[in-house]
Amino acid sequence: MKAALIEMQDFAAGTSSRSTKLVHGGLRYLKQFEVKMVAEVGKERAIVYENGPHVTTPERMLLPFYKGGTFGRLSTSFGLRLYDFLAGVKRDERRRMLSPADTLALEPLLKKEGMRGGGSYVEYRTDDARLTIEVLKRAVESGAIAVNYAKAEQFLYDEKGKATGVAARDLIGGGEYRIRARQIVNATGPWVDTLRELDRSKKGKTLRLTKGVHLVFDGSRFPLRQAIYFDTPDGRMVFAIPRDGKTYVGTTDTDYSGDTAQPRATREDRDYLLNACNGMFPYLRLGERDIESSWAGLRPLIYEEGKSPSEVSRRDEIFVSPSGLITIAGGKLTGYRKMAETVVDRLAALLRADGRGTFGPCATRELPISGGDVGGSESFAQYAKRAAAAGEAAGLTTAAAQRIASRYGSNAKAVFERIAKRPAAGGGADLSDEDYGMLMYAIEEEMAAKPADFLIRRTGALFFDIGWVRRNHAAVIACMADALQYTEAQRAEYAEELERELKAASEI
Ligand SMILES: Cc1cc2nc3c(=O)[nH]c(=O)nc-3n(C[C@H](O)[C@H](O)[C@H](O)COP(=O)(O)OP(=O)(O)OC[C@H]3O[C@@H](n4cnc5c(N)ncnc54)[C@H](O)[C@@H]3O)c2cc1C
């Protein structure tokens, strides 16, 4: 098939850079008896990991339980065993039940009062935006076309009312383009109903948007050693996850009706999460001053009457409109490959029925994503070590070379090459070689067009190293302005946009 994707913002700027950043089956959905979904998404975890070990890392999660809490030893043990079974979990990653002393030894910051023990199981930590971009890069390597900052504004139809393309606007260079296609897929997350409205096919089931917020603390203030999944007094579940010297906590789950592109964390969100943390980690006495950064995202859930936000199912569904527009809605990031497989199989059947050719079965189950050609997950650590040698040869320290090798996998050499060829003069002279290499790679291989694309979606720095962003954003802007030939107006606009993002992340 010939495929093209247009994205009106930057790639992953919607929900896919704003999640809890876990590739997981959704243990908590077992409480709602979503057995089939947990089994399906749970099994996808292993596939996502195998095909991209550079963006996904197994990490033990600890579920503590307390006297009078939602869970006890028996229900935790049963729930985790069921999860292992449904998700087909590997032997060494299966659940372990722990005594109170062992639970506290794993994480001494946990509340001691009423502690009855813990259950430990494996989830996978990811970088959601990088995962999305690596999938996209792999598609482009296989012949797809992908363009960011291009918005579908209208559908085009033939005389029988069949959708035959879109009129799209280039939001950077300006201008309108008509893109023709035999089949069109609406995979716009929180915007799927907006597009169904354009197609006059928003009937039956609709979306319900709920907002989820995460807060980031510095490791010196919240020195969490072990990822924790805990229940809150109102019966919800919250994650606290250590990552790169920081700890992040989330999420909230509240109905949302504001601007879809700019969901923001509010004081209520902040207070809810601070209270939850101070309940479970009482010795820290965290306050609003301790929050370094934050983000908010919208869950595109399918509306179900009478259910509270956290009870609404996370299942995905496909709608086909009379014009032939295929909409995929709901679901989880973890299930992205399976959702895509379902849609593409459907497209193949439609094209075949139309006499437009036959297509083989979907091949993504065993297809490494970009950067994932590392010989499988088991060899990844060794691979990264070997790959880092090229970075050291380009003048990086061992630690910097290893950071790049771990983040970019089999693409690390392309980053190292840019460092080795760094010109003596040019924009962004204040950037370190490591940052320069990543930035040039992001511009040339990952279509980063604006500073925020690099600082949020290509590196996650705005969330996990906001101090670095404050110190280096001027150098990043200078380097990008030089490489991408910004006009003065663009330079000012993008700098302002970044300033707004910095404010939104740090001032709540
Ligand atoms: C707080 C929170 C935590 C979550 N945690 C997890 C988790 O830990 N693990 C997990 O697996 N899932 C998680 N999820 C769910 C997961 O993030 C989403 O299911 C997934 O990211 C949705 O991806 P999507 O591609 O459907 O939507 P999006 O990522 O939003 O992509 C849709 C894109 O369409 C673009 N678009 C819209 N209109 C147009 C147009 N007219 N023209 C062109 N482009 C357009 C948008 O700009 C947007 O980027 C979480 C969600 C939230 C909100």
Clarify whether residues 297 and 326 are in a common domain. Answer: no
Instruction: Tell me whether residue 298 is in a domain.
Output: yes
C-beta of residue 370 within 8 angstroms of C-beta of residue 411: yes
Clarify whether residues 338 and 390 are in a common domain. Answer: no
Question: Whole-prediction pTM value?
Answer: 0.96
Sign of the Cα pseudo-torsion (342, 343, 344, 345, in order): positive
Clarify whether residues 335 and 451 are in a common domain. Answer: no
Provide the CATH number for the domain around residue 171: 3.50.50.60
Clarify whether residues 383 and 460 are in a common domain. Answer: yes
CB of 331 sitting under 6 A from ligand 1: yes
Distance of CA 55 to the CA centre of its chain: 10
CB of 14 sitting under 6 A from ligand 1: yes
CB of 166 sitting under 6 A from ligand 1: no
The amino acid at residue 345 is D
Instruction: Tell me whether residue 105 is in a domain.
Output: no
Strand stretches in 67-202, DSSP E: 96-98, 115-126, 145-147, 150-157, 163-170, 176-180, 185-186
In whole angstroms, what is the distance from residue 264 CA to residue 497 CA?
15
Distance 168 CA to ligand 1 centre (A): 20
Clarify whether residues 189 and 322 are in a common domain. Answer: yes
Residue 270: domain span: 207-302
Contacts of 149 (CB under 8 A, 6+ apart): 7, 8, 9, 10, 170, 171, 172, 449
CB of 263 sitting under 6 A from ligand 1: no
From first to last of the 508 residues of the chain, give the pLDDT tens digit. Answer: 999 999 999 999 999 999 999 998 777 776 776 777 778 888 899 999 999 999 999 999 999 999 988 888 988 898 888 888 888 888 888 899 999 999 999 999 999 999 999 999 999 999 999 999 999 999 999 999 999 999 999 999 999 999 999 999 999 999 999 999 999 999 999 999 999 999 999 988 899 999 999 999 999 999 999 999 999 988 889 999 999 999 999 999 999 999 999 999 999 999 999 999 999 999 999 999 999 999 999 999 888 777 788 777 778 889 999 999 999 998 899 999 999 999 999 999 999 999 989 998 899 999 999 999 999 999 999 999 999 999 999 999 999 999 999 999 999 999 999 999 998 877 778 999 999 999 999 999 999 999 999 999 999 999 999 999 999 999 999 999 999 999 999 999 999 999 999 999 999 8
Instruction: Tell me whether residue 22 is in a domain.
Output: no
Instruction: Tell me whether residue 339 is in a domain.
Output: yes
In whole angstroms, what is the distance from residue 460 CA to residue 453 CA?
9
The number of distinct structural domains making up the chain is 3
Among 20, 56, 59, which is best to mutate for testing ligand 1, by the most ligand atoms less than 8 A from CB?
20
CB of 6 sitting under 6 A from ligand 1: yes
C-beta of residue 263 within 8 angstroms of C-beta of residue 210: no
Clarify whether residues 214 and 286 are in a common domain. Answer: yes
In whole angstroms, what is the distance from residue 245 CA to residue 144 CA?
37
Tokens in use for 278? 């101070």
C-beta of residue 475 within 8 angstroms of C-beta of residue 428: yes
Beta bridge partners of 214: 250, 295
Distance of CA 205 to the CA centre of its chain: 26
Clarify whether residues 200 and 322 are in a common domain. Answer: yes
Among 124, 333, 334, which is best to mutate for testing ligand 1, by the most ligand atoms less than 8 A from CB?
333
Clarify whether residues 386 and 495 are in a common domain. Answer: yes
In whole angstroms, what is the distance from residue 258 CA to residue 274 CA?
23
